[in-house]
Every structure is written in C-alpha cells, then in structure tokens.
Amino acid sequence: MHSTKPSSSVGATLVDDIQRVIFSHLQPSDLLALALCSKKSNMLATPYLYRSVYLLSHVCGLPIMGEDDMEEVCARQESFRRTVVGRPHLACFVKEIHWTIIPTSSQFAECWSLFELLELVQRVYLDFYFVPRITPPLPPDGLFPRATHIALSRSWSLDTALRLLHTPSRIIHLILIYGWTQVPGVLAALAGKCTNLRRLYLSKTSRVAEDEPYSNTEYDTAIILEWCSFLDASKPTLHEVGLALTEECHGCEDYSISPDARDVVFAKEFIPLLAGNGWDNLESLVLGGVGNDEEQKETLKASIPVARLSFRSGWGWSWEAIYEAYPTILERSRVWDIQDSLGS
C-alpha cells in the first residue's frame, strides 16, 4: 500500500513556495530584517528587495533639492550602483526603477552603464535634475529592452527621450512631465506607433495669463498641438488619460485672472477632441489646471463621455501622486543605506 505522506523534497518545495508568497507581501523594512538573519532568508528575500528600486530625489525632501538632499540621494544611488556592478547577477531581479539623474562629471556615464545591466526592467521612471551648462551624453541604443511603462520628468532632452522610447509598440503606460527646457518633437515621432498604449499622462507648465513671461512660451503652442495629434492617433487603444497644464507663482501667492489662459487652451484644443468619437475604450480622464469652477466641471462632465472624470489642482499637479506614495517610497529608498550587506 502506497504511503500518502509527502516526500521530504515535496514538503521543502511547498515551504519555499509559502515563504515566497509571504515575502512578496512584506514591507521593505521587514524584508531587510529577514535578509540579514541567515543565508537562506537572504536568498529568498533578495529578489523582492531588488524588484522595485526607488532612488528619486523626491524621497529625500521636496522636488527642489537642497545640498544635503542631493548628497543623500547620490550616496544611496552610488551604494546601489556599486553593489549591482560588483554582483551583476542581482540585476536580473530588478523589474522597476525610479531614479533621479543628477548631472555631475561622471553621473550620466555611470547611470547609463548601470542601466545597461538592467535588461529585465519593465517599469522605468527617470527624473532629470537640471544643472545649467551641462550637456548630457545620450543613452546607449536599446536601453531597457523589456520596458512597457516609461515615465520621464523635468529636464529630459528630445534626443534622450527618443533614445529611451526606442520601441513604441511595446509601451503600455507613458508619462511625460515637461520642464522648462523641452522642445516639441517627441510625440510627433511616436504618433501612430504606440499600438499598445493604454495609459497616457502629459503635464507641462503653462501660462495663466496671456502675457505671462514663461521661459518656454515659444514652444507652448507647438507642444499643445503635438499633444492633440498624438491623442487623436492613440485614442482607439487608450483606457486612461491625464492632461495637466500646471502653473508657477512667480512670486505671487494667488492668481485671480479671468479667463485663465489654460482654460482657454483646453476649451479650444482639447474639449472638441475629447468630446468627439473614437474613444471606445476610455475609462478615466484626469484634468489638472482646468475646470476650477463648478459650472465648468459640469460642462466638461456633460461633454466628455467617460466613466470617471476627475480634477486636480493646477499647481504642482505632477508631484501629487508622488507625495501620496511618499511614506512607502521613503522606506524603500532607505534599504540602500546598508545595501552592501544584501545579495551576497
């Protein structure tokens, strides 16, 4: 008569499977504690510690960094870079990376060399910190070949963006947060090629008053028209869209300008497009910097036939989602303070 008692190998496999399920739901601080307990727990915990890497400058303070903030995030990034370069097998565990590129004499070259190791990354958020008079080298061809979710913020250049968005048909989720230095051209190059795009979020600073002295006013109209053309080409596949025209105060505490130039732009360029046909899959639309009064909100809701329509403030809209997740991101970033103890 055969025994129904499971073999020791089956039992061990089952225990490992249960441990992996538990590890996948643990907070980074708990994972870190387990990783430092024993060699076996280190082996089990390491893939989950490296799976999502959060090393944005935002976790060290406000989006505008002080000198101490910059030193702190650079130290954490260097710890992570040194560990992965020294132990390349760890790179295969990284599936998501959030990273602020802070231009120094060697930062770009070191970043690109590190990122070349991360061939299995699927989600990428690169934040380009602006430093005047520094021209960054372009990333190598084919970086992040598996990436399906890509976000770029602040001072990315046209050439850099096109290098990073090298396979448009693979992109499912795209976020572009425009800073002061961008010129049009990125979305024009991608129009009609993002055949699997489901989620799109676009944000840029824009004039509140027609005579507002924005530094990139020269390109405002061209970028807005490019957004519209890209939306029109992508609407058959889009499920979620976010559009924001943010404001800067320029020393003023409040604006009470009527009409707000951003509302004029939305009414003229975006509302006819969004209220038109072809949005068969659109489920969510988020608007920032427009629809500030109740009457305008009702007009937008009546005009745009989507399941969820929501509004965010016009100041700092790009950062709101970051701050909502701030506690978790901060905790995850602290893992790399003692990174050299992990993944041996």
pLDDT tens, residue by residue, 177-224? 887 778 899 999 999 999 999 999 998 877 665 555 444 456 888 898
CA distance 140 to 265: 37
Domain map (residue ranges) of the chain: 8-341
Cβ neighbours, 10 Å, residue 69: 17
Please determine, for residue 21, whether its predicted confidence score (pLDDT) is greater than 90. Answer: no
Nearest to 158 by CA among 187, 129, 133: 187
* Separation in Å, CA 307 to CA 34, 239, 284, 304: 43, 10, 6, 9
pLDDT of residue 253: 40
pLDDT of residue 327: 43
Between 57 and 212, the higher pLDDT residue:
57
Confidence class of residue 160 from pLDDT cuts 50, 70 and 90?
A: very high
Q: What is the pLDDT of residues 224-233, one digit of tens each?
A: 899 999 999 9
Please determine, for residue 325, whether its predicted confidence score (pLDDT) is greater than 70. Answer: no
Give pTM, 2 decimals. Answer: 0.82
Please determine, for residue 61, whether its predicted confidence score (pLDDT) is greater than 60. Answer: no
Listed range (128-142, 166-180, 326-340) with the worst mean pLDDT? 326-340
Overall CATH class of domain 8-341 = alpha beta
Nearest to 100 by CA among 140, 72, 58, 64: 58
pLDDT of residue 15: 64
| 12-21, 57-66, 279-288: which is most confident | 279-288
